[in-house]
A and B are shown apart, each in its own frame.
Chain A
Amino acid sequence: MRNFIFSFLALIMLPAYMSGQVIKGKLVDPTGMGIPGASVVAVDSKTSTDTDFDGNFSINAKVGEIIKFSMIGFDAISVPATANLMTVTLKESEDTALKEVIIIGYGTRKKIDNTSAITSIKADEVSKMKVLNASQAIQGKAAGVQVISSDLPGSAPSVIIRGLGTALGGRTPLYIVDGMPTDNINNINTNDITSYEILKDASSLAIYGTRAANGVIIISTKKGKGNEVSIEIETFAGFRSPLKTVKMAGSNKYAHYSNDALQTTTFSQDQPVNTDWFDAITRTGVYTQNNISVSGSSENIKYFFSVGNYEEKAILNGLDFSRTTFRSNNEFKISKKLTLNQNLSFGTTKSAPKPLDAFTNAYKQSPIIPVRFSNGQYGVSFVGANGFAGPAGSSFNNVGNPVAQLDYFNEQQRSIILQGGLKLDYEIFDSLKFTSQFNGEYYSWKNYNYEDSKAIWETNNNPGQLSTIIYPADRNINVLTKGRSQYFNWNLSNYLTYNKVFAEIHDLEVTAGIESSVRGPREELRIARRNVNANANYWSLANVDYGGTVLSYNDAVFNENKIASYFGRFQYKLKDRYLLTGTLRRDGSSNFGREYRWGTFPAIGLGWIVSKENFLTDVKALNLLKLRGSWGKLGNQNVPLNNQAYSIAGNNTYLGGSILFDGTTINSQIDPSLSWEVTEEASIGLDFELLNNKLKGSFDVYDKSTNNVILNTRPLITSGISNSSPAHVGEVSNKGYEIALRWDDKVNDNVSYWIGGNFSNNTNELTKINNAILAPRTGGDLLNGQFTKILDNTSVGKPLGSFFMYEYAGFDATNGNKLYFDATGNKVTQDALNASTDKRYVGSILPTSTYGVTLGVNYKNIDLSVDGYGTSGAKVYNGKKAQRFSGENIENSLATDFWSSNNTTATTPAPFNQVPVASTYYMESGDFFRINNISLGYKIPLEGMFVNTCRIYVNAINPFITQKFSGFSPELNGDGDPYGSQGIELNAYPALRSIVIGANLKF
């Protein structure tokens, strides 16, 4: 092909050749080394050539004619031709993108030479996001990466890369922190991170084999640099409040609505109390973070040390969280050939959690109840003969006092996570390097929870403090639960990297290695005791046997998981423009039976840097054009396991006397061939840079399918096996595209700006279930007997995480009753619905599109940046509203306009008392767009002072949102499970708006 192009060019340029002469010379870099493969173009003569391997060129041109020299990585230059031997020096390009190095599994690669889809995010892009968790910081920053976060302190966001490929298996990406595979990055201080690499396609992921199917995020922490000791201090403080609240009915509206619902006059229409329960349980959140780091380097040592502290008093009363982190990263150059890297991080958290159903209770509790009655007792739902709430009367709902609930909830949690690693690089000879890396991770967690059972009972049952109501003697006075859990993981990898350029044009890099990875057994201990000393100091006395007070004792050691692996990668670059990557990983996992534990994961990647071809050198506007393509197979070993076990618990029986006899049986049917899920992915993409690198972008298309998804099948009914058995029976497909664009420009020395954005679209579908009867997985529990999601044989053709419920059909204009469509399309009332035939698939919690925008301006010492994030196509369920029934409060909008015999043209149905069925009445669009962050900073000019730089800043985090959802927040991570509470606003923490003021100083 290339020869053909050459010949063709030669042919059309023949006339020019005829008229000129041969100009000869050499192209060199600033150090005087020849630059091979550069493009040389004589503009008028329309001739062109490449420099040879020493940088020499000869071209047909006229003397004095302008000749243009260009080479990727260098600034192009135009000089007049001379008859003498020319020596032309190219300056290295200021544009660092071309020299940018990204981290790939077990190595690094120049970004331009990479054949795979990796989004690399540098620290400065995310350091402005003042968030606790490292993965929350990348929300909206990378195409194809969906981050569902929560503002609950200490919570871990869900990260989904290029769609959800598994139904029951682990969904989170594999995190590699400085070489350590981990599933917990809560301990990482975002200020310590230098880069995130998000590996998205098969070519980049296959090196991680059986853990790669959900994508990989490689996090690298900082190292020392520069010649001097550098000290950096970062400090901020912020205030937090809910981004959006829901306006509830006031007391009189509540009374009116409830009387109508009950068809009584229980509640007075002139209430003396109007409690805003949301206000009563919340406060203005306050959070602060302080970090100090010391770094630097000398000839043989690079060092980095940091300490960070984060404190938050959350908006929910009493909910506190704090984290302290230490990190020490050092690199020692022991000899010319030997380098040792050491890193150690220590993170500890302390939190006082509070039950999030307080939000739901605050939503539902009646405003006529005061926080405290006049007798000082907590207000509860008793209504007296006067129609007011009071300590005597009849109970009108089952919702407790949310303030009392928070006050009584007494829990503390502490955790410690210790991560450390050693990495040894040894240069065996010039082109061959040996790397050995060991990492370990220790985690320890403990908590206590104290329940003051008697006081809670008295609050709910005896607000009038009557002596006739007595706490039953056989009940627990209080219950103390203590928990402990811990684990130790380690990982060891050894690999060789060979890198050599042959015959000047064949650039070859081969990596081969072995790895062993152990995810140690999770140990959990939980003990509940009754009637402990009321004074917390005396809960755990020495020399006391608490055996008699133990209510429950759980001591579990979960199965250990080990992986042994071999891996190899071959990267080849021809003439600096044709790229080939081949990857092969072979993994053995202890999770699976002996015959089924080894799997091989191949991938291939191709790249073509089109812009280096001569025929594009004339296109001035085009600085870079690269095509990429890849195919590969990836595994997910974090799936339901097939360890067949004896059923022991729950089979105890009496055989006539008072002796309890143990029972044992086998109540599971196991497929011994169960192993990992395999995702096959093909993708193509292109990267481009235009207009002097001002416009950069990329476009990717992918098609991923997981053809052996594990689902729980139901054994035949006559087998008598009641436990479902996991089997490879499903197929899930994810197809999508991603676009990322960014424009950077420097108007003059004082002004520069950028604007960028990314958009990704993904279509998720459960495409097939192979000849199996699934054990239905009902999910989306509304905690009132209603469920909103299902995964069973009928789910084929639907996205994962689909809602399954009755479809609301408006209300009956004659009586205001809500109506629903039955299977035949008739409108019927709740009581006439058939649970097995009338429910429908009505959408999924998974968005079809996610997008992010970023823009910023720097003017002299002032910098301003804005980031936004949005999703569309997802459905969310208003679970707290769907839970509301008799005697509970309603939203203001409902209370003002509901059907009644006096208002038959109302827009909402008549008041009702029964538990509503799960229906689309409570389902809403989850589409939203939110400004995640606005950051305004000013660098104080401090020339000659001992402070090098000082930037002070103000951030507005989540200042604005546009959403269709009527609840608090459409971003609902819940328990992170698409078949759990994800996408349902029930007992959910609201999204927050925060204003932060801070300063960053460097010495």
Chain B
Amino acid sequence: MKKIYISLFALSCYFISGCSNDFLDVDQTESVSTKDIELFNNDAGAATFVTSIYSKFLDYNMSSFSWNGVTSIASDDADKGSSPGDTGTDKDVMDALTYNPSSLSIVEIFSANYEAINRCNQAINIIPQLDKADANLRARLIGEAKFLRAFMYFTLVKTYGGVPIIDRLPNPSSQEDRIMQLARKSKEEVYAFIEKDLTEAALVLLDKSQYPNSEKGRASKGAAYALLAKVNLYQKNWQKVIDNCNLVTGYSIVPNYASMFRLAGENDAESIFEIQGTGQGVGSATIKGIQNYSVSQGARGAGGWGWGFNTPSESLLNAYEAGDVRKNATIIFAGTTLYDDRVVPLTVENPRYNYKAYSSAIPDADQSDTNIKYLRYADVLLMKAEALNELNQTTVAIPLLNEIRTRAGLANTTATSQAAVRIAIWKERRVELAFEHDRFYDLVRTGQAVAAFAIHGKTFVAGKHEVFPIPQIFINESAGLSNQNPGY
């Protein structure tokens, strides 16, 4: 005790000599300080910054309930579903196109994508500092981050029009960075930024075949070109669509359409980029799936297993030609038996449910094992066909369309004129890609929205509904630096 006392007294006197700042330097113990970047200065450490971006896809606000609200329930492919009294917070207004700038789905998709963009920017900022990690790996990881950043901006620009471009980590006290975060850029500027990121990413990414089986979820060279083609498609740069589609190699159409949406079909030969949900049952919070993605779309009511939202619409049902195998692969009908022998009784609340979100093993789990197909080769073929047709190469386009139809169990298309083939491709896109979060944007892109929504029984106001409102929370923050989309 006495010794301690003397030494403490000495320590106390030590202050007088002015060294107390060292005394006050305390190492953080409850969380890993950002000062200790050296902990991540290796291959595995560098990779963690990119993994966190992929992880964002699994969050509830990113790819689940709100995402369905914006891309599916709002479209003519789906209805809100569920019980009439259960609005799912705002899914009723999403369905009716009567949403407003504070509707939760609209706010969540905006904020979730910017959260993911922050993770991209963190990775792009930090990984170059990790000089002990392999240089090629670092380049590839930055490529993945850029692909993913482009992915988020593509979602944002399709959904909201021009948005602020955050291309670096903002300094909270910089006025310039403040403006960067609050002033909307034009749609064209956003597309240019996306193309730049994708072009840079494509140069350094690996082919899908080069990734080990445990990492098939990573962005690949093919994914970058496929996404670039789609970005070109939205800007009607037809030749670029064809060029980039031609660069998507090593993929093929799988013979069985339905197989793609089952566990065995995850990351199959047709898959270019998909979100990897690998949850493991009820109560297993540490193992992540796409949160509530399956259960929120599962059959509701007696004999069901889910919340019953996002149900296939009458309009979609009518879009399938007779004999199209895709109908029964896309839609669960009440009163039928599923591929895994699960009986869906007639007592469930809605007549139809989304089959593509169904998890056989753990249908009622919060963290399900279902993946979301974001880009697949069928989409690439249809994009290429559409571009060829637009460039008056209709005869070259038709076989591509027929390849898709054949797999669906349908006869070759009867369309021959450029205009008829255009309509045929658009229709094919709908039934091929139903419930893959493409339809709403496709309707807007192709200008079919007003007519399609009329059939669906909803009113699509031209000049307004092409984009969703910018969240009010952002408009308030911007204090005049950004304006709301027209009509909202």
| Set of chain B residues within 8 Å of A651, measured between Cβ atoms | 48, 51-52, 55
Once A558-B30, A718-B182, A719-B181 are accepted as A-B contacts, the answer to whether A654 and B20 lie under 8 Å apart by CB is no
Residue of chain B at shortest CB distance from A669: B172
| Set of chain A residues within 8 Å of B256, measured between Cβ atoms | none
Chain A: minimal CB distance from B97 (Å): 21
Cα of A438 to Cα of B102 in the assembled complex, Å: 59
Question: Chain B, 112-127, contact with A by CB distance < 8 Å: what is the 0/1 string?
Answer: 0011111101110000
Once A514-B12, A719-B170, A720-B118 are accepted as A-B contacts, the answer to whether A556 and B24 lie under 8 Å apart by CB is no
The answer to whether A665 and B119 touch across the interface, beta carbons within 8 angstroms, is yes
Chain A: minimal CB distance from B448 (Å): 32
Chain A: minimal CB distance from B264 (Å): 14
The answer to whether A654 and B34 touch across the interface, beta carbons within 8 angstroms, is no
Cα of A657 to Cα of B123 in the assembled complex, Å: 23
Task: Identify the stretch in B64-72, B209-217, B294-302 within 8 Å (CB) of chain A at 4 or more residues.
Answer: B209-217
Cα of A659 to Cα of B211 in the assembled complex, Å: 14
Residue of chain B at shortest CB distance from A558: B30
Chain A: minimal CB distance from B15 (Å): 6
The answer to whether B214 and A656 touch across the interface, beta carbons within 8 angstroms, is yes
| Set of chain B residues within 8 Å of A438, measured between Cβ atoms | 5, 8-9
| Set of chain B residues within 8 Å of A122, measured between Cβ atoms | none
Task: Identify the stretch in B190-198, B239-247, B469-477 within 8 Å (CB) of chain A at 4 or more residues.
Answer: B469-477
CB-contacts of A109-133 with B (<8 A) = none
The answer to whether B473 and A717 touch across the interface, beta carbons within 8 angstroms, is yes
In the complex, whether B322 has a CB less than 8 A from a CB of chain A is no
Cα of A647 to Cα of B51 in the assembled complex, Å: 12
CB-contacts of B5-37 with A (<8 A) = 5, 8-9, 11-13, 15-16, 20-21, 23-34
Cα of A746 to Cα of B54 in the assembled complex, Å: 82
In the complex, whether B166 has a CB less than 8 A from a CB of chain A is yes
Question: Chain B, 309-320, contact with A by CB distance < 8 Å: what is the 0/1 string?
Answer: 000000000000
Residue of chain B at shortest CB distance from A490: B8
| Set of chain A residues within 8 Å of B118, measured between Cβ atoms | 665, 667, 719-721
| Set of chain B residues within 8 Å of A779, measured between Cβ atoms | none
Cα of A442 to Cα of B8 in the assembled complex, Å: 17
In the complex, whether B40 has a CB less than 8 A from a CB of chain A is yes
Cα of A559 to Cα of B32 in the assembled complex, Å: 11
In the complex, whether B424 has a CB less than 8 A from a CB of chain A is no
Once A597-B24, A717-B474, A722-B115 are accepted as A-B contacts, the answer to whether A655 and B8 lie under 8 Å apart by CB is no
Question: Chain A, 46-60, contact with B by CB distance < 8 Å: what is the 0/1 string?
Answer: 000000000000000
Residue of chain B at shortest CB distance from A560: B26
Cα of A590 to Cα of B29 in the assembled complex, Å: 13
Cα of A560 to Cα of B30 in the assembled complex, Å: 9
The answer to whether A664 and B40 touch across the interface, beta carbons within 8 angstroms, is yes
Q: Specify which of B55, B117, B213 lies most central, judged by the most chain A CB atoms within 10 Å of its CB.
A: B55
In the complex, whether A671 has a CB less than 8 A from a CB of chain B is yes
In the complex, whether B110 has a CB less than 8 A from a CB of chain A is yes
Residue of chain B at shortest CB distance from A657: B214
In the complex, whether B230 has a CB less than 8 A from a CB of chain A is no
In the complex, whether B201 has a CB less than 8 A from a CB of chain A is no
Chain A: minimal CB distance from B320 (Å): 31
Chain A interface residue number, banded: 35 or more
Once A514-B16, A556-B30, A718-B114 are accepted as A-B contacts, the answer to whether A564 and B276 lie under 8 Å apart by CB is no
| Set of chain B residues within 8 Å of A647, measured between Cβ atoms | 52
Once A438-B8, A717-B474 are accepted as A-B contacts, the answer to whether A652 and B286 lie under 8 Å apart by CB is yes
The answer to whether B172 and A645 touch across the interface, beta carbons within 8 angstroms, is no
Cα of A717 to Cα of B214 in the assembled complex, Å: 34
Chain B interface residue number, banded: 35 or more
The answer to whether A644 and B34 touch across the interface, beta carbons within 8 angstroms, is yes
Once A588-B21, A644-B34 are accepted as A-B contacts, the answer to whether A564 and B15 lie under 8 Å apart by CB is yes
| Set of chain B residues within 8 Å of A663, measured between Cβ atoms | 48-49, 51-55
Once A654-B288, A656-B217 are accepted as A-B contacts, the answer to whether A717 and B28 lie under 8 Å apart by CB is no
| Set of chain A residues within 8 Å of B48, measured between Cβ atoms | 651, 661-664
Contact count A vs B, C-beta below 8 Å: 202
| Set of chain A residues within 8 Å of B277, measured between Cβ atoms | 654
Once A492-B8, A588-B24 are accepted as A-B contacts, the answer to whether A657 and B213 lie under 8 Å apart by CB is yes
Once A669-B172, A718-B114, A718-B474 are accepted as A-B contacts, the answer to whether A662 and B51 lie under 8 Å apart by CB is yes
In the complex, whether A431 has a CB less than 8 A from a CB of chain B is no
Question: Chain B, 133-162, contact with A by CB distance < 8 Å: what is the 0/1 string?
Answer: 000000000000000000000000000000
Question: Chain A, 483-518, contact with B by CB distance < 8 Å: what is the 0/1 string?
Answer: 000000010111000000000000000000011100
| Set of chain B residues within 8 Å of A718, measured between Cβ atoms | 114, 163-164, 166, 181-182, 474
The answer to whether B28 and A643 touch across the interface, beta carbons within 8 angstroms, is yes
Chain A: minimal CB distance from B273 (Å): 11
| Set of chain B residues within 8 Å of A659, measured between Cβ atoms | 214-215
The answer to whether B474 and A655 touch across the interface, beta carbons within 8 angstroms, is no
Cα of A588 to Cα of B163 in the assembled complex, Å: 45
In the complex, whether B278 has a CB less than 8 A from a CB of chain A is yes
Chain A: minimal CB distance from B463 (Å): 26
Once A652-B288, A658-B278 are accepted as A-B contacts, the answer to whether A664 and B33 lie under 8 Å apart by CB is no
In the complex, whether B413 has a CB less than 8 A from a CB of chain A is no
Once A556-B30, A645-B31, A665-B123 are accepted as A-B contacts, the answer to whether A660 and B23 lie under 8 Å apart by CB is no
In the complex, whether A562 has a CB less than 8 A from a CB of chain B is yes
Chain A: minimal CB distance from B168 (Å): 11
CB-contacts of A59-104 with B (<8 A) = none
Chain A: minimal CB distance from B102 (Å): 7
The answer to whether B23 and A717 touch across the interface, beta carbons within 8 angstroms, is no
CB-contacts of A657-683 with B (<8 A) = 657-667, 669, 671
| Set of chain A residues within 8 Å of B166, measured between Cβ atoms | 718-720
In the complex, whether A436 has a CB less than 8 A from a CB of chain B is yes
Once A717-B474, A836-B102 are accepted as A-B contacts, the answer to whether A655 and B52 lie under 8 Å apart by CB is no
| Set of chain A residues within 8 Å of B473, measured between Cβ atoms | 717
In the complex, whether B267 has a CB less than 8 A from a CB of chain A is yes
| Set of chain A residues within 8 Å of B9, measured between Cβ atoms | 436, 438, 492, 494
Residue of chain A at shortest CB distance from B274: A656
CB-contacts of B69-98 with A (<8 A) = none
Cα of A19 to Cα of B12 in the assembled complex, Å: 68
Cα of A981 to Cα of B30 in the assembled complex, Å: 26
The answer to whether B54 and A653 touch across the interface, beta carbons within 8 angstroms, is yes
The answer to whether A564 and B52 touch across the interface, beta carbons within 8 angstroms, is no
CB-contacts of A614-655 with B (<8 A) = 643-648, 650-655
In the complex, whether B42 has a CB less than 8 A from a CB of chain A is no
Chain B: minimal CB distance from A721 (Å): 6
| Set of chain B residues within 8 Å of A715, measured between Cβ atoms | 172
Chain B: minimal CB distance from A343 (Å): 13
Q: Specify which of A438, A589, A669, A716 lies most central, judged by the most chain B CB atoms within 10 Å of its CB.
A: A716
Cα of A715 to Cα of B24 in the assembled complex, Å: 29
Cα of A521 to Cα of B29 in the assembled complex, Å: 8
The answer to whether B267 and A656 touch across the interface, beta carbons within 8 angstroms, is yes
The answer to whether A656 and B276 touch across the interface, beta carbons within 8 angstroms, is yes
Cα of A416 to Cα of B287 in the assembled complex, Å: 39
Chain A: minimal CB distance from B24 (Å): 4
In the complex, whether B334 has a CB less than 8 A from a CB of chain A is no
Once A718-B182, A719-B118 are accepted as A-B contacts, the answer to whether A654 and B217 lie under 8 Å apart by CB is yes
The answer to whether A665 and B29 touch across the interface, beta carbons within 8 angstroms, is no
Residue of chain B at shortest CB distance from A720: B118
Q: Specify which of B20, B53, B267, B471 lies most central, judged by the most chain A CB atoms within 10 Å of its CB.
A: B20
| Set of chain A residues within 8 Å of B485, measured between Cβ atoms | none
| Set of chain B residues within 8 Å of A556, measured between Cβ atoms | 30
In the complex, whether A575 has a CB less than 8 A from a CB of chain B is no
Given contacts A516-B11, A653-B55, 15 further A-B contacts (CB under 8 A): A493-B12, A521-B29, A556-B30, A564-B20, A588-B24, A589-B24, A646-B34, A651-B48, A654-B277, A661-B47, A665-B119, A671-B172, A717-B477, A720-B117, A722-B115
27 A-B pairs with C-beta separation under 8 A? A422-B5, A438-B8, A438-B9, A493-B12, A494-B9, A516-B23, A557-B30, A558-B29, A559-B29, A563-B24, A590-B25, A594-B21, A597-B24, A646-B34, A651-B55, A652-B51, A655-B215, A656-B214, A656-B267, A659-B215, A664-B51, A664-B52, A665-B119, A666-B122, A716-B178, A717-B473, A719-B170
